[in-house]
């Protein structure tokens, strides 16, 4: 299977699952509106878990990688943790608040926002999670969470990432000298 067919297959699989997820959201939406805080948290967690099981799309990686994650490439054993820019629980809450929901809408939100991730270390991932609370989360200011967690991100290209995987020390040194970003653009 060529790359284009694989991409189309992943997108079709994601769309089908998004259609099923939209039906789940529709089925629980009325209950959610009048639920206790405990029930709301459970519903958000459940829908967030469903988002986790959607297939990763080709352009999920935004190109943002932490300096500390880059440093793990030095010893030839990179330690990469995929950090979702939109926490699953917050994404679930957004789906539950959508006035009109269907598979295409869920797929669009997933493709444009919910599947987007950056690479950090596992320690940084845990640190970011402590700040990813609804009261801290601002979709227009995604860098805020990483600043609060003292995580410095840089932007790299797909080609630079491929060179990193090939253990290109020159690229690694160049990237380690790059200044951290000030905002996240999707």
**Residue given tokens 């609804």 in the structure block:** 134
d(CA 35, CA 145): 28
DSSP structure class, residue 121: -
**Count of domains in the chain?**
1
DSSP 135-163: TT--TT-THHHHHHTT--EEE--HHHHHH
- Residue 152 falls inside a structural domain: yes
Q: What is the pTM of this model?
A: 0.88
d(CA 16, CA 106): 10
- Pick the closest to residue 62 from 117, 142, 112 (CA basis): 117
- Residue 38 falls inside a structural domain: yes
d(CA 145, CA 134): 11
**pLDDT tens-digit profile of 110-126?**
999 999 999 999 999 99
* Whether the Cβ atoms of residue 50 and residue 88 lie closer than 8 Å to each other: no
**pLDDT tens-digit profile of 128-185?**
999 888 887 888 888 999 999 999 999 999 999 999 999 999 999 999 999 999 999 8
- Which range marks the domain in which residue 91 is found? 3-176
- Residue 184 falls inside a structural domain: no
């Amino acid at each position: 299977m060529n790359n284009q067919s694989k991409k189309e297959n992943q997108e079709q699989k994601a769309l089908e699952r998004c259609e099923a997820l939209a039906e789940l959201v529709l089925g629980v939406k009325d209950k959610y509106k009048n639920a206790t805080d405990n029930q709301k948290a459970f519903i958000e967690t459940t829908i967030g878990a469903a988002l986790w099981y959607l297939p990763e799309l080709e352009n999920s990686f935004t190109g943002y990688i932490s300096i500390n994650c880059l440093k793990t490439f030095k010893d030839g054993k990179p330690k990469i943790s995929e950090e979702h820019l939109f926490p699953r629980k917050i994404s679930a809450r957004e789906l539950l608040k959508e006035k009109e929901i269907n598979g295409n809408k869920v797929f669009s939100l997933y493709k444009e926002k919910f599947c987007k991730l950056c690479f950090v270390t596992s320690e940084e991932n845990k640190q970011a999670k402590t700040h990813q609370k609804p009261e801290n989360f601002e979709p227009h200011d995604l860098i805020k969470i990483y600043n609060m967690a003292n995580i410095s991100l840089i932007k790299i290209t797909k080609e630079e990432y491929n060179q990193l995987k090939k253990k290109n020390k020159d690229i690694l040194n160049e990237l380690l000298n790059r200044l951290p970003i000030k905002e996240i653009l999707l």
